[in-house]
């Protein structure tokens, strides 16, 4: 039975009623669970009375998207006995009405991602550049989660690909989740959201031996609009710290190369700031 999960910060809690409830109607999951970050006071939990019923809510103050993913990977098996067959959907997305059709056609891959129509209409260039079509007649694309050429050009070497929704037939094992949690802890807390969760998921997939992730266009994205463009120096600093953590924990040369890439960007940005 399919479990439907979303995650969001407290200030976007309205998206549960606005979007996630509609996804529940579309999927009709066995279980629907919402992880809410930035909850640090008991009074905040009183808002639960105003939220849609029939959904399980998990409140915490994890502090970043990646910390929330680590929590979800831990709590789903530990607190709910859920070890797989989970669809994680971004809280500001509504899946297409016939999404189950896509799910049944893709589930044999054991993992897949979903792109929104809005990105597709704009060209979806970053995703298509790193993807191949499964066949001339198929609407399924295959994304490379590890691209070594990105050590020498823009973009990170590790990336899940489209992530408006993420399906996992099996959740990562406890040992791997704990190790990934350690790597996230190497990032200064206020910088952690500068490493995308697509990056964390890409690293996780690669460590699990998943080199390619299929994806389809099957959601609509109602962007929350609360984000701001991040400073490139700070982004590079966050990636450098994450890569250092990965190297220390896993000792794989790919992570050392990842670290060197972003150290070079740090140096470049430092020189630019001195010039200007």
**pLDDT per position as a tens digit, 220-254:** 999 866 556 678 999 999 999 999 999 999 999 99
DSSP 8-class letter at 164: S
Q: What is the pLDDT of residue 229?
A: 66
Q: What is the pLDDT of residue 168?
A: 98
Q: What is the pLDDT of residue 176?
A: 98
Cα–Cα dist 115/103, whole Å: 13
pLDDT tens column, 24-74? 999 999 999 999 999 999 899 888 888 999 999 999 999 999 999 999 999
Q: What confidence category does residue 275 fall into, taking pLDDT thresholds of 50, 70 and 90?
A: confident
Q: What is the pLDDT of residue 269?
A: 83
Give me the mean pLDDT over the 176-190 stretch.
97
Q: What is the pLDDT of residue 137?
A: 52
Q: What is the pLDDT of residue 226?
A: 58
Residue 273 host element (H or E): helix 253-275
Domains of the chain plus CATH, in order, are 3-229 (3.90.550)
Cα–Cα dist 56/46, whole Å: 14
Instruction: List, in order, residues 6 or more apart from 136 with CB less than 8 Å away.
Output: none
Residue 80 above 90 pLDDT?
Answer: yes
pLDDT tens column, 100-154? 999 999 999 999 999 999 999 999 999 999 999 976 556 899 999 999 999 988 8
Class of residue 212 by CB neighbours under 10 A (exposed 0-12, middle 13-18, buried 19+): middle
Q: What is the pLDDT of residue 271?
A: 81
Q: What is the pLDDT of residue 23?
A: 98
């Amino acid at each position: 039975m399919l479990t439907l999960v979303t995650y969001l910060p407290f200030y976007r809690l309205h998206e549960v009623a606005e979007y996630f409830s509609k996804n529940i109607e579309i999927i009709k999951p066995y279980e629907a669970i919402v992880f809410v970050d930035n909850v640090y006071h008991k009074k905040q939990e009183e808002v639960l009375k105003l939220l849609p019923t029939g959904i399980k809510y998990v409140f915490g103050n994890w502090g970043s998207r990646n910390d929330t993913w680590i929590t979800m990977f831990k709590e789903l098996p530990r607190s709910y006995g859920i070890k797989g067959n989970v669809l994680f959907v971004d809280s500001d997305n509504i899946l297409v009405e016939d999404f189950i059709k896509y799910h049944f056609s893709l589930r044999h891959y054991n993992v897949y991602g979903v792109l929104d129509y809005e990105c597709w209409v704009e060209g979806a260039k970053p995703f298509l550049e790193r993807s191949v079509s499964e066949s001339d007649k198929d609407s399924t694309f295959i994304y490379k989660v590890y691209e070594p050429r990105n050590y020498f050009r823009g973009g990170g070497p590790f990336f899940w690909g489209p992530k408006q929704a993420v399906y996992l037939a099996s959740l990562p094992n406890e040992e791997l989740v704990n190790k990934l949690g350690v790597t996230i802890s190497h990032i200064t807390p206020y910088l952690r959201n500068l490493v995308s969760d697509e990056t964390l998921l890409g690293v996780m997939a690669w460590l699990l031996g998943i080199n390619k992730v299929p994806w389809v266009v099957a959601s609509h994205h109602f962007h929350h609009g609360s984000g701001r463009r991040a400073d490139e120096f700070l982004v590079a600093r966050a990636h450098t710290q994450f890569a250092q953590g990965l190297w220390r924990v896993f000792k794989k040369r790919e992570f050392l190369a990842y670290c060197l890439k972003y150290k070079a960007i740090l140096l470049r940005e430092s020189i630019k700031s001195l010039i200007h």
